[in-house]
Amino acid sequence: MSIAIPDGYHILPPGKLANVVTCLEMTAKPKTRGHGFKPGLTLAAAERSDLAGYRRLFAAVGRDLMWFSRLVMADEKLAAILGDADYEPYVLKKDGHAIGILDLDFRETGQCELAFFGLTPEAVGTGAGAALMDAAIDRAWARPIARLWVHTCTYDHPNALGFYRRSGFTPYQLMVEVHDDPRLTGHLPRQASPQVPLLGG
Taking each helix axis from N to C end, the angle separating 51-62 and 75-82, rounded to the nearest 10 degrees, works out to: 90
Mean pLDDT of 46-71: 96
CATH 1.10.579.10 fits 18-185, yes or no: no
Percentage, residues of the chain above pLDDT 70: 99
15 vs 108: CA distance, rounded Å: 33
Contacts of 74 (CB under 8 A, 6+ apart): none
Mean pLDDT for the chain overall: 94
Closest to 74 measured CA to CA, from 55, 53, 47: 55
Q: If pLDDT is split at 50, 70 and 90, which confidence band does 4 have? A: confident
pLDDT at 26: 98
CA dihedral 142, 143, 144, 149 (to 10 degrees): -90
Mean pLDDT confidence for 117-135: 95
Q: Residue 123: pLDDT above 80?
A: yes
| pLDDT tier for residue 201 given thresholds of 50, 70 and 90 | low
DSSP the chain: ------SS--PPPTTEEEEEEEEEEESSPPPP---PPPTTEEEEE--TT-HHHHHHHHHHHHGGGT--HHHHS-HHHHHHHHT-TTEEEEEEEETTEEEEEEEEE--STTEEEEEEEEE-GGGTTSSHHHHHHHHHHHHHHTSS-SEEEEEEETTS-TTHHHHHHHTT-EEEEEEEEEEE-HHHHTSS-TTSSTTS-----
For residue 154, pLDDT over 90 is answered with: yes
- With 90 as the cut, is the pLDDT of residue 2 above it? no
Q: How high is the pLDDT of residue 1?
A: 66
